[in-house]
Amino acid sequence: MPCASPRKWLPLQAAPTKAIVAIAAAWLRSVLLSVMPHSRNWTLSDIPWGQFQAARVDADVLKVVKAAAMVERNGADYGRYLCNVFADDPTFCDLARTWATEEEQHGIALGRCAELADPNYKFDSAFQQFRDLYQIPVDATASVRGSRTGELCARCVVETGTSSFYSALRDGVDEPVLKAVCAKIAADEFRHYKLFLNAMQRYSTQEPLSVAARLRIALGRMNEADDDELASAYFAGNALPGPYDRNASAAAYSARAFGFYRQRHTKRAGHMIAQAVGLSPDGVFGQLMQKVMWLVIGFMGRRFRTAA
């Protein structure tokens, strides 16, 4: 029997539909927040700073830590950029803001380690010098990777790089407080990778991206590791005499940073990259990626050590 009064019937149907959508949205939000808790899982007050032993920090470790502190503390800019690119996704923006706060905390913790190891070091002024040299385009409203799936793929690559780097640094340093800080950061970076991987898998249903396109983005992002960001962070973080020379600074950073890697670190990184580009981490490509990464990092380390 046709409805006698459709104008009265429609709002009655719309109300429960709206309620269901609201409940579903709240549920999705709680699931996503459970992947990355809103509150930080550790704070600066959890670190036993009084136990820091400056004499146990190697000079090369200190140089790398000073550079890494710059890039990490710049996390707020990346958070703003991501919220612009994902402006219509408030759930993801919440996660991106929490992520950015955690990245900033990494920078502050590393900066404090550097100040304890080198009493003449002024982290805030070094960071300001870095900001004067390098800033990302925070006003962009579309991803520089061409799509949001591509953006998330690139973020997976970055978090793969940072999680393997801090794992390598954790295993390579002798100072116990710095080692504990690196361990906490490495765990955060791995969790960040999973956050972006989950979001990428969600977005890839709306904005599909082929394996070949993801691979291009991943390789392109890995190649950017020697761009201005790390070079200027090394230059400003270590107060090198000017003028700024990108190639020399990048070589000096890479010569030291690559030396911490062992095969187990690149093996895990290869596994993560394969997963991010949509291939089986244990398949032929995943195995190949692990081997290639180990060979490339070994080769680059030797090349930059010679150049530096």
Q: Nearer to Fe ion by C-beta: 98 or 129?
A: 98
Part of the chain binding Fe ion (CB under 5 A), chosen from 152-160, 207-215, 282-290, 298-306: 152-160
For the bound state, the minimum distance from the C-beta of residue 103 to Fe ion, rounded and expressed in Å, comes to: 4
Give the shortest CB-95-to-Fe ion separation in angstroms: 12
**Residue pair 77/138 in contact by the 8 Å Cβ criterion:** yes
100, 218, 258 from 188: Cα distances, Å:
12, 21, 21
Min dist CB 21 to Fe ion, Å, is: 32
Q: Which is nearer to Fe ion, 74 or 249 (CB)?
A: 74
28, containing H or E segment: helix 6-35
Per-residue x/- mask for Fe ion, residues 252 to 281, rule CB under 5 A? ------------------------------
Closest contact distance (angstroms) between CB of 100 and Fe ion is: 9
Q: How would you label 56-71 residue by residue, b for 16+ Cβ within 10 Å and e otherwise?
A: ebeeebbbbbbbbbbb
Residues 189-248 that bind Fe ion (CB under 5 A): 189, 192
Asked whether the beta carbons of 159 and 193 are under 8 A apart, the reply is yes
3-state secondary structure of 102: helix
Closest separation between CB of residue 120 and Fe ion, Å?
Answer: 25
Of the pair 168, 213, the CB lying nearest Fe ion is at 168
Q: Which is nearer to Fe ion, 108 or 308 (CB)?
A: 108
- Please state at what angle helix 176-203 crosses helix 6-35, rounded to 10 degrees: 150
Using the minimum distance from each CB to Fe ion, give the nearer residue, 52 or 99. 99
Residue list 101-130, contact with Fe ion (CB under 5 A): 103, 106
Per CB under 5 A, the segment of 25-33, 153-161, 215-223, 298-306 that binds Fe ion is 153-161
In the window 56-85, what residues touch Fe ion (CB under 5 A)? 72
Residues 6+ apart with CB under 8 A from 254: 226, 300, 301, 304
Q: How far is the CB of 74 from Fe ion (least distance, A)?
A: 10
Q: Sign of dihedral through CA atoms 208, 211, 214, 216?
A: negative
Which of the 8 DSSP states describes residue 261? Answer: -
**3-class DSSP state of 62:** helix
Q: Which positions touch Fe ion (CB under 5 A)?
A: 72, 103, 106, 159, 189, 192
